[in-house]
Amino acid sequence: MNCDCKTRIEELLKEEALQEVTGATEGQAELQGYGLSFTGGEAALRGFMPYKVHVSYEKKGQVKEKTFKGNMIFSFCPFCGAPTEVKAPEGQAT
């Protein structure tokens, strides 16, 4: 099996950033690892993956750069496909 999900997601993030920045002509997106975080009001443990996108654009004759950072929150484990929302142990601080 030849999975290209990482490449496709990075391309989609880059295209979205290029559309957001007026005059942007170049860009690069990079998924940056994996982590777990408590999210939501009921303290559910969920997987996430940080990303960073750089775009270049021209403004007043100068090439400038803009960086976007964010996190993709997973509904399913990217490794086994199981739902990632796991309740925190009783009494654990969130």
pLDDT in tens, 81-92: 777 655 544 554
pLDDT tens track, the chain, 94 positions? 456 777 888 899 999 999 999 888 899 998 887 777 766 655 566 778 889 999 999 888 899 999 999 988 887 766 667 776 555 445 544 4
Alpha-carbon distances of 63 from 57, 69, 73, rounded to whole Å:
6, 20, 33
**Considering the domain boundaries, does residue 94 fall inside one?**
no
The confidence score (pLDDT) of residue 16 equals: 92
**Considering the domain boundaries, does residue 67 fall inside one?**
yes
The confidence score (pLDDT) of residue 68 equals: 92
**Considering the domain boundaries, does residue 35 fall inside one?**
yes
Give the integer Cα–Cα distance in Å for 7 and 91: 40
**Considering the domain boundaries, does residue 93 fall inside one?**
no
**Considering the domain boundaries, does residue 92 fall inside one?**
no
* Residue 83 DSSP symbol: B
- Number of structural domains (the chain) is 1
Q: Is 63 left (phi over 0), alpha (psi -120 to 50) or beta?
A: beta
The answer to whether 10 and 18 are in contact (CB under 8 A) is no
**Considering the domain boundaries, does residue 62 fall inside one?**
yes
Q: How far apart are the first and last CA of the chain?
A: 39
**Residue-range definition of the domain harbouring residue 39:** 5-87
Query: What is the value of pTM for the model shown?
Result: 0.58
Give the integer Cα–Cα distance in Å for 25 and 18: 7
**Considering the domain boundaries, does residue 48 fall inside one?**
yes
